[in-house]
Structure 1
């Protein structure tokens, strides 16, 4: 998938970013082309080699239809991860987040939110919960062409029920 300057792309770990430039740099005597992304949430600059973008998991923002499927995952009552103790569970959640799949990220958000209502989360789990929420809210707002606050409220409503 080729991205043009000004387009939005989703980095599996950092979230939604805007392609601000496509630059060629010389590294160790070899010329390599990079997408320069400015991550929407943090403003961080990320360089992704164009020839490795697919392998890394750089992808386009999901469609409105796909966004509706992601919201449906939040309504599901099953737990995606049932591993015990917390460090095994955390390892599985990290892998799900790294996948870059919005459906997997939604499962992490759903599971950890439900778990939080039953017991205190570990520091690592709280961090994963915040990361999952951040990744999902930004992309869903873009996909549904609405403000992040509205998506956040909708997610809270789904998870509270």
Structure 2
């Protein structure tokens, strides 16, 4: 991922979704010089600093490509998978999927919570998780497709409702 270390480049950070590199600095800590990246999540005002050589270890990755978009669409179209009946176990399982940093796992959370919401009311925690997961998913989907977040949100909603779209 070294070639992507340029200000303005967009990556994906677990828990936060799409982030933009806003600064690159060399810092000497404990006698060791390292390159540090400052990352700005697109979904909030947080600022993250991370050593450039630890991106992979933390799970920072590039945006999905065309194949990734197609597989994400397939995941969103898959049948609802029933999860544990106990909402706290379901919440924990979905939280682990979000923490993975995988857009496909985030897609599973969005799909399953969206489908669950069609037949029953989501708990307050699940509503918040759905909003968070949806924000992460829609932002990356929009960037990867080169469309606005509004258009991406509408496409994701149509996919979840069973409409076929082409990439």
- TM-score calculated relative to the size of structure 2: 0.88
Range moving further from structure 2, 103-112 or 118-127? 118-127
Q: Could you tell me how far apart the structure 2 residues matched to 1:146 and 1:20 are?
A: 22
Find runs of 4+ consecutive structure 1 residues off by over 6 angstroms: none
Match of 2:85 in 1: 84
Structure 1 residues without counterparts, runs of 5 or longer = none
* 1:27 Cα deviation after fit: 4.2
**Taking structure 1 as reference, are residues 30 and 132 closer, same or farther at Cα in structure 2, changes over 3 Å only?**
same
Aligned length: 160
* 1:28 Cα deviation after fit: 5.4
* 1:30 Cα deviation after fit: 4.7
User: Deviations for 1:75-98, whole angstroms, at most 9, x for unmatched residues?
Assistant: 11141x511200001110011011
Match of 2:44 in 1: 42
Structure 2 residues without counterparts, runs of 5 or longer = 163-167
Q: Could you tell me how far apart the structure 1 residues matched to 2:50 and 2:11 are?
A: 11
Match of 2:73 among 68, 71, 74: 71
**Taking structure 1 as reference, are residues 52 and 114 closer, same or farther at Cα in structure 2, changes over 3 Å only?**
same
1:97-108 aligned within 5 A? 97-108=98-109
Q: RMSD of the TM alignment (CA)?
A: 1.6
* 1:14 Cα deviation after fit: 0.6
User: Deviations for 1:20-48, whole angstroms, at most 9, x for unmatched residues?
Assistant: 11112344565443211111122321112
Q: Is 1:94 matched up with 2:95?
A: yes
Q: Could you tell me how far apart the structure 1 residues matched to 2:62 and 2:37 are?
A: 13
